[in-house]
Amino acid sequence: MPQRAAAFEILRSVLDQRQALDEAFARHAAPLAPRDRAYARALTALALRRKPEIDAVIDACLERPLPPGARGVRHVLAIGIAQALFMDTAPHAVAATAVELARAMGFERQAGLVNAVLRRVLREPKAFDAARAQASLPGWLVDPWPAAYGADTAAVMLKALLEEPPLDITLKDPAGAADWAERLGADVLDTGTLRLRQAGAVEDLPGLAEGAWWVQDAAAALPARLLGEVRGLRVADLCAAPGGKTLQLAAAGARVTAVDRSSARIGRLRDNLARTGLDAEVVVADAAAWTPAEPFDAVLLDAPCSATGTLRRHPDVAWSKSAADIYKLRKTQQALLTDVARLVKPGGRLVYCVCSLQPDEETASPAAPPPGFAPEPIGAGEIGGWDFAIRADGTLRTLPCHLPARGGLDGFYAARFRRLP
Ligand SMILES: C[S@@+](CC[C@H](N)C(=O)[O-])C[C@H]1O[C@@H](n2cnc3c(N)ncnc32)[C@H](O)[C@@H]1O
């Protein structure tokens, strides 16, 4: 029960108050025992990932709209339907616990309705197949995909987004890959990322506390590699927190300056540096206004973005953002690009990246490089043989449907430039 109550509060925070899933989870699941916490996370992520289908089922069952004060009943129903259709919860428990949850959340008057809906869904789940097949993610999110990636790929992406993503980690010392793969029960991907076959609770995994690795999707580990050999170079990692790419660059021997304007997120970056024993200069500043003493050999700009590339891990993004956000983000990305170009030495590299699936956020493009820069196409073989992710124009594009037999990838875009001498 406490895990379902937490799941209810998390859904309410995310969907009614537009709080990010991670924040809502931290707030409402903190008091739970580890197992209940893991269950609440899995349940809420599933309810959000399957929201279009779950909404279609709820709409098919409700004869009239819920009264204004009882909108939260939809979250109770969503939790029950997620369990009924997509989890192996015992059928008798689904309806009973949903009724109990409805009462506990103050929806005594709707308890009968909750019971009736869930019993119907359990009795005739196939009756909703047609409604579910029609359900789709919001238009601002998915409508641009067919033109950008092709209709077939866009359809496969939608399916891939329904899957729970694997847990990927980056090792501080890549030479230890075989040993750590064995200890963690992981596969070593072509790019050196370790992909765990069974994740469980991250905190319990060997090597985390002693800083031998950090969690980072295999696609998120690619942009930092595009700076090439960085040993001994001065590298600015802009928009750096919580620091996955800073850690990679520091582990590769770069003298890194990590800049982020959020002091809370920089706190997490510092914790990550301390845990891994890696070193970087840390600056809390707006990268657009920040003026270091001298420019850098290389700059990585992991620009603020819609994060739709991480939908598998953060399915709340589909419900918390809108077309207006994409428009604003593109403007921000354009301004940041213009402002940070001055931080690159003549002859130095600039990599722009975003964890987005939206073509409008491919803001830095070889077709229109920042003034004073030339595109530097990413070459075949540069990213562990994953040439499927390198486009004809030399940019990087990963999609959730890439690497299908091994659990997919987060969506990332990256473009590389060199400052003219
Ligand atoms: C996509 S996240 C970065 C992820 C990080 N690079 C990593 O690999 O762990 C974007 C970050 O940009 C930061 N940010 C947004 N606008 C910024 C700005 N103008 N200057 C500095 N940081 C900014 C946010 O605080 C956020 O931490």
Same domain, 227 and 118: no
152 lies in some domain? no
CB atoms within 10 A of CB 7: 30
Same-domain pairing of 90 and 230: no
Q: What is the CATH number of the domain that holds 39?
A: 1.10.940.10
User: Rounded to whole angstroms, how far apart are CA atoms 152 and 133?
Assistant: 17
Flag whether 148 is in a domain.
Answer: no
Comparing C-alpha atoms, which of 376, 27, 361, 355 is closest to residue 220?
355
Tell me if 223 CB under 6 Å of ligand 1. no
Q: Is residue 186 part of a domain?
A: no
Report pLDDT for 243.
98
Pocket of ligand 1 contains residue 239 by CB under 6 Å: yes
Whether 228 and 115 share a structural domain = no
Distance CA 354, CA 361 (A): 7
Q: What is the mean pLDDT of residues 239-259?
A: 98
Give mean pLDDT, residues 184-211. 90
Q: Are residues 126 and 263 in the same domain?
A: no
For position 212, what pLDDT does the model report?
Answer: 97
Check whether 417 has a pLDDT greater than 90: yes
Q: Is the CB of residue 244 below 6 angstroms from any atom belonging to ligand 1?
A: yes
Instruction: Answer yes or no: are the C-beta atoms of 390 and 378 closer than 8 Å.
Output: yes
Q: What are phi and psi for residue 419, nearest 5 degrees?
A: -75, 135
Asked if the structure places residue 212 within a domain, the reply is no
Give the CA angle between residues 155, 156, 158 to the nearest 5°: 65
Residue 171 within a domain? no
**Residue 180 belongs to a domain:** no
pLDDT at 55: 95
122 and 26 in a single domain? The answer is yes
Q: 97 with 222, same domain?
A: no
In a domain, 320, yes or no: yes
Q: Do 8 and 107 have their domain in common?
A: yes
For residue 297, the domain's CATH number is 3.40.50.150
How far is residue 315's CA from residue 261's CA, in Å, rounded to a whole number? 25
- CB of 288 within 6 A of ligand 1: the answer is yes
pLDDT above 90 (res 29): yes
Is 355 part of the annotated catalytic residue set? Answer: yes
**3-class state of residue 388 by DSSP:** helix
Average pLDDT over residues 55-78: 93
**Contact call for residues 272 and 214 (beta carbons, < 8 A):** yes
1 pLDDT higher than 80? no
Catalytic residue among 305, 353, 355, 401: 355
pLDDT band at 283 (very low <50, low <70, confident <90, very high): very high
Residues 222 and 348 in one domain: yes
Q: Are residues 235 and 118 in the same domain?
A: no
Q: What is the pLDDT of residues 77-129, one digit of tens each?
A: 999 999 999 998 899 899 999 999 999 999 999 999 999 999 999 999 999 99
Statement: residue 393 has pLDDT above 90: yes
Q: Which of 76, 99, 134 is the last residue of a domain?
A: 134
Query: Does the pTM of the predicted model rise above 0.85?
Result: yes
Considering 106, 134, 162, which residue would you say is the last residue of a domain? 134
CA of 393 from ligand 1 middle (Å) equals 26
Confidence (pLDDT) at 88: 87
* 322 dihedral zone (left: phi>0; alpha: psi -120 to 50; beta): beta
Question: Which ranges of 261-363 does DSSP label H, i.e. alpha helix?
Answer: 263-276, 317-320, 323-340
| Ligand 1 centroid – CA 303 distance (Å) | 6
pLDDT at 200 over 90: no
Span from the CA of 71 to the centroid of ligand 1 (angstroms): 35
Statement to judge: residues 123 and 270 lie in one domain: no
Q: For the chain, give the percent of residues with pLDDT over 90.
A: 91
Domain that holds residue 44: 2-134
Is residue 276 in a domain?
yes
**Cβ of residue 267 lying under 6 Å from some atom of ligand 1:** no
pLDDT tens digit string along 309-353?
999 999 999 999 999 999 999 999 999 999 999 999 999 999 999
Shared-domain flag, residues 283 and 389? yes
Of all protein residues, the one whose alpha carbon is nearest to atom 14 of ligand 1 is: 239
State residue 35's pLDDT score.
Answer: 86
Q: Mark whether 230 and 363 lie in a shared domain.
A: yes
Q: What total of structural domains would you count in the chain?
A: 2
Most confidently modeled of 35-44, 159-168, 392-401? Answer: 392-401
How far apart, in whole angstroms, are the C-alpha atoms of residue 278 and residue 323?
39
Segment 348-362 mean pLDDT: 98
pLDDT given at position 361: 98
| CA 354 – ligand 1 centroid, Å | 10
> Which whole number is the average pLDDT over 241-245?
97
Q: Which of 134, 162, 182 corresponds to the end of one domain?
A: 134
pLDDT one-digit tens code per residue, 154-164 = 999 999 999 98
Q: Indicate if the pLDDT at residue 71 is higher than 90.
A: no
